Amino acid sequence: MISRRRAATTTAALTCGVALLAGVASTAAASAGSSDGGEGDLADKSAQQISDDALQQLLAAQSLRLRTETSADPTKLDLTLDRAGNCTGAISKGEYGRVELVKRGDEVWMKPDAAFWKGLLPGKKGDDAAAKYRDTFLHGTTKNSFLRGVSAACDLKAFQKAATGPERRPSGTPSPSHSVSLTKGRPTTQEGTRVLPVVKKARGAVETLYVAIDGKHYPRKLTAAVDHQTGTILLSNYDTPVSTKTPAPDETADISALDDLLKGSQGT
């Protein structure tokens, strides 16, 4: 039950981000800018065209860095992943701990912090495990259900597929909803990159897609706000290869150690 719950929160964080991108990109109502105003070659494009371009750049990416955060859940992702399913980075669950993650093919390494161990195992068992496996990666393959769940977010192909949305309309197709608007905001800067916001408002929700102005028009940031809840995705390092470095054998322990600890905990 513990492994399934942790895997579910990881997947939920990823899904939240994908839904945000799909929602902005599939909106048909749009407005066009009449002058440059620092928008570069996006100045003469409608908000719809800009979101379409950004989505195509995302779909063409072979790798990228993905960071997610939402006020509804403490889970945060910071992963560099590629279309082959490789990744490196970390998954944080707030006070429940953080794991560093490395995945190459079907091999997975995860390094939990002390908070993870203490939240996973009761009392002294959690303290002992945190001390014993300090700075140690647990290693196995995706045949292990725990590692398979934790590393599910490493699938860039799945992220890209979900980002297209289930009912994506071609650019220019009228929207059946009159309550939806998609407009261009003013150019700003996001982590040193000039970006143009594309804002969608519908049924009390506000979603904003920030698109790179210079060079390829990558989606760089996405935010959503509804019912006092917020979510953010940051996308960067497009087409930068995922590191091939994996933990050294003397830094690892077999994943069976975790299975044994969980069995021991359930038996007490």
**With bands split at pLDDT 50, 70 and 90, how would you rate the model's confidence at 176?**
very low
**Is residue 27 scored above 80 in pLDDT?**
no
**With bands split at pLDDT 50, 70 and 90, how would you rate the model's confidence at 30?**
very low
pLDDT digits (tens, 9 = 90+) for 86-130: 999 999 999 889 999 999 999 999 999 999 999 989 899 999 999
pLDDT for position 9: 41
**Is residue 35 scored above 70 in pLDDT?**
no
**With bands split at pLDDT 50, 70 and 90, how would you rate the model's confidence at 37?**
low
* Under 8 Å between Cβ of 216 and 57: yes
pLDDT for position 202: 85
Q: What is the CATH number of the domain that holds 187?
A: 2.50.20.20
196 conformational bin, left if phi > 0, alpha if psi -120 to 50, beta if neither: beta
What contacts 24+ positions apart, CB below 8 Å, involve 181-186? Answer: 181/29, 181/31, 182/24, 182/27, 182/28, 182/29, 182/30, 182/31, 182/47, 182/48, 182/51, 183/30, 183/31, 183/47, 184/31, 184/32, 184/33, 184/39, 184/46, 184/47, 184/50, 186/37
pLDDT for position 195: 98
**Is residue 31 scored above 60 in pLDDT?**
no
Q: Region 147-155: what's the mean pLDDT?
A: 93
Q: Which domain holds residue 35?
A: 2-266
The secondary structure element, H or E, covering residue 58 is helix 47-60
pLDDT for position 243: 97
pLDDT for position 259: 85
Q: Region 175-179: what's the mean pLDDT?
A: 43
| Total domain count, the chain | 1
Distance CA 93, CA 80 (A): 18
**Is residue 4 scored above 60 in pLDDT?**
no
pLDDT for position 194: 97
Mean pLDDT of the residues in the chain: 84
